[in-house]
Structure 1
Amino acid sequence: MRSQFQEELKSLNIKLLKMGSMVQNIIEVSVQSLAKQDLNRARSVFELDDDIDALELEIEHQCMNLIALQQPIARDLRTIGTILKIITDLERMGDHAVNIAKVTLEIGEDKLIKALIDIPKMARLTEDMVNKSLDAFMHEDIDLAKELDHYDDQVDDLYEAIYLELIEMMLENPDIIKQATQLLFIGRYLERTADHATNIGERIIYMVTGERMKIN
């Protein structure tokens, strides 16, 4: 029974890493579609999100079956519970990427009011956070999980810089208010994505130690 449980857990870990990779990709695609104003690429984000949703359901179903058939206790149960929570965070990250794609389609081919510098930086940081959060999960590394707070602070700082810059631009030129607001939404979606990665870090700490700790 124990060996079967470990095999099932190994299978779940592989699928979780795959889902994380898919989320990193959808973040990259959504922001690239904005930067290049590639509307077809923006539309592809919806299909990518469907794939993420499908994998989430597959992992959830496997977790529930494992709980029902193996009846895990203590640490094993915490591990499965953590996986269930992580896939929820990952799925919501995918939803934020969809929101970015929707805004990109709204902007369409209109000339961007500013060069996109901080938004791509935010995207790269959030992608790194997804990678590090899952690395922390696989290695049960609570120190790495705690480091996510540092990256989240960087994302927050970039969002604040974007916010202040766009507010100033709107005050100087009310004609750009619509697009400036759209870019603010995109920054906010990336900031929330980073928050979900931080959530994963907190879940890992609980999984390993049994104690709840806020790292943000």
Structure 2
Amino acid sequence: MNIRGNFHSELQLLKTKIITLAEMTEEAFILSIDALHNQDVQMAKRIIVKDKEIDRCENEINNQAVLMLAKQQPVATDLRMLISAIKITNDLERMGDNAKNIAKSTVHLGDNHNLIIHYAIKEMRDVALNMLKVVVEAFREEDIAILKSLAIMDDEIDQAYGKLIKEMLKERAVNMDKNQYILQMTFNARYIERFADHITNIGESIVFLVKGEAYQLN
């Protein structure tokens, strides 16, 4: 295989690693909200520890991308792939941080709080997971047409977040003794909202990869 062939094999391997990182992030996100609902402090602690694996994976991908940039000095689509790889990986790592923060909230609340997790948390989670599936598929196939649904889903999450905030403010006005619960629900909704924002960023990076131009999806 010639040098160019080797380079494209490395690009494909890099792409595969990014998809694997997305799967790791998705798993952390799902488990963190499961732990929150189930008051599973031990699971939450495991998620916090496993976040280091996401960090290591991010570093490995970024180091590989930078090395390929330095060695091959690629142009056109190949250059855009490496730039996009670095940007997408950074967003995935930040998404992992949001999952970790949800797990920390579970630890903070403890395993015997007897509080009902606000229904909007699961609603936002489901929409965010659908968004993640869309961008992974778009990245795998380099198909930007399917990204059109991202803005609609991101708006759904923003609306649910706003509704939760309003309800928590009303709750705080009449139940000051639930202040910690109210804060944690607000924080967790914010973590999910940020998780979704990073997915939208990934979608925009995919548009750049395919079309070579900046584009705001929302």
Is the CA contact (8 Å cut-off) linking 2:135 and 2:202 kept in structure 1? Answer: yes
Aligned to 1:91: 93
CA distance in 2 between counterparts of 1:32 and 1:19 reads 20
CA distance in 2 between counterparts of 1:87 and 1:126 reads 17
Structure 1 letter corresponding to 2:169: I
CA distance in 2 between counterparts of 1:96 and 1:112 reads 24
CA distance in 2 between counterparts of 1:139 and 1:201 reads 13
- 1:12-51 to 2 correspondence within 5 Å? 12-51=14-53
Structure 2 letter corresponding to 1:104: T
CA distance in 2 between counterparts of 1:141 and 1:195 reads 20
Is the CA contact (8 Å cut-off) linking 1:30 and 1:101 kept in structure 2? Answer: yes
Aligned to 1:156: 158
Which residue of 135, 142, 145 corresponds with 1:143? 145
1:65 equivalent to 2:67? Answer yes
CA distance in 1 between counterparts of 2:14 and 2:119 reads 37
Is the CA contact (8 Å cut-off) linking 2:117 and 2:185 kept in structure 1? Answer: no
Say which is worse superposed, 18-27 or 200-209, in terms of deviation.
200-209
Is the CA contact (8 Å cut-off) linking 2:17 and 2:61 kept in structure 1? Answer: yes
Is the CA contact (8 Å cut-off) linking 1:103 and 1:186 kept in structure 2? Answer: yes
Aligned residues: 216
Aligned to 1:198: 200
CA distance in 2 between counterparts of 1:167 and 1:143 reads 39
CA RMSD of aligned residues (A): 1.3
CA distance in 2 between counterparts of 1:100 and 1:176 reads 19
Residues 2-25 of structure 1: CA deviation (Å, up to 9, x unaligned): 211110011011111100000000
CA distance in 1 between counterparts of 2:216 and 2:114 reads 38
CA distance in 2 between counterparts of 1:214 and 1:156 reads 16
Aligned to 1:180: 182
Residues 22-41 of structure 1: CA deviation (Å, up to 9, x unaligned): 00000011111110000000
TM-score, normalising length: structure 1:
0.95
Structure 2 letter corresponding to 1:186: N
Is the CA contact (8 Å cut-off) linking 1:20 and 1:131 kept in structure 2? Answer: no
CA distance in 2 between counterparts of 1:174 and 1:37 reads 22
Q: How far off is 1:146 after superposition?
A: 3.0
Q: Secondary structure at the match of 2:13?
A: helix
**5+ long unaligned stretches in structure 2:** none
CA distance in 2 between counterparts of 1:109 and 1:171 reads 26
